[in-house]
Amino acid sequence: MKKINELIIASNNKHKIIEIKDILGEFFKNIYSLSEKNINVEIEETGKTFEENAIIKAKYISELTGLPALSDDSGLEVEALNGAPGVYSARYAGEPSNSDINNKKLLKEMQGKSNRNANFTSVIAICYPNGKIITANGKTYGKILTELQGENGFGYDPLFYSNDLKKSFGLATSEEKNAVSHRGRALQNLKEILSKRK
Ligand code: IMP
């Protein structure tokens, strides 16, 4: 297995950075966050899919630094809302992004809906300075609750009943959530792709 020297993560989300460093540490000698490289940029997510957005962010940071860069883009897709909020999950109720207001809007949109099936999706992209791109995705399935349950996690976690855990992500520990989460699964898929490389 070829171990590349450096990887930069195009995110400042501490939870994501710890999880990514844990899972991908064996493939890279040094993994940096943006702040560890003193990079402070806002990258506009103009894509129409998670994959497009993940690639936009990773490519931008790879071109800026000359290093391989990893980005993940994720969100919630609700069947009864035709896949919304989807790529607009962070700014579902408008900007600036606010989880409490997003959750209130989701509860309102779901009033009276009997189909409450939903999934979280994550697409991870690594862009290399030579232009090569690797992507991997992961999903986790559940149902939208009728009220908030728990205070753990972030975003829509208190409204997402996980079919795997049989409780809301808001009531799960981070270990429990990471074991079944969309991001955890995308990272495991990425790990398989990286380990097959010569
Ligand atoms: P990001 O662009 O990948 O950081 O995520 C977009 C938005 O999707 C977040 O702001 C959350 O609203 C939602 N989201 C993504 N992953 C999760 C999760 O694991 N739990 C709850 N909400 C999430």
**47-59 pLDDT, tens per residue?**
999 999 999 999 9
Is the distance from the beta carbon of residue 156 to the nearest atom of ligand 1 less than 6 Å?
Answer: yes
Is the distance from the beta carbon of residue 77 to the nearest atom of ligand 1 less than 6 Å?
Answer: no
Instruction: Dump the DSSP string for the chain.
Output: ---EEEEEES---HHHHHHHHHHHGGGEEEEEETGGGT---------SSHHHHHHHHHHHHHHHHSS-EEEEEEEEEEGGGTT-BGGGGGGTT-SSP-HHHHHHHHHHHTTT-S--EEEEEEEEEEE-TTS-EEEEEEEEEEEE-SS---S-SSTTGGGEEETTTTEEGGGS-HHHHHHH-HHHHHHHHHHHHHHT--
Q: For residue 72, give the ligand 1 atom closest to its CA.
A: 3
Q: For residue 153, give the ligand 1 atom closest to its CA.
A: 20
Is the distance from the beta carbon of residue 85 to the nearest atom of ligand 1 less than 6 Å?
Answer: no
Pocket test for ligand 1, best of 19, 76, 122 (most atoms within 8 A of CB): 76
Does position 1 have pLDDT exceeding 70, yes or no? no
1 Cα–ligand 1 center, Å = 32
Where does the pLDDT of residue 198 fall: very low under 50, low under 70, confident under 90, or very high at 90 and above?
A: low
Pocket test for ligand 1, best of 46, 56, 74 (most atoms within 8 A of CB): 74
- Provide the percentage of residues in the chain whose pLDDT is more than 70: 97
| Entry pTM | 0.93
Where does the pLDDT of residue 27 fall: very low under 50, low under 70, confident under 90, or very high at 90 and above?
A: confident
pLDDT digits (tens, 9 = 90+) for 92-145: 999 898 999 999 999 999 999 999 999 999 999 999 999 999 999 999 999 999
Residues involved in catalysis: 73
131 Cα–ligand 1 center, Å = 27
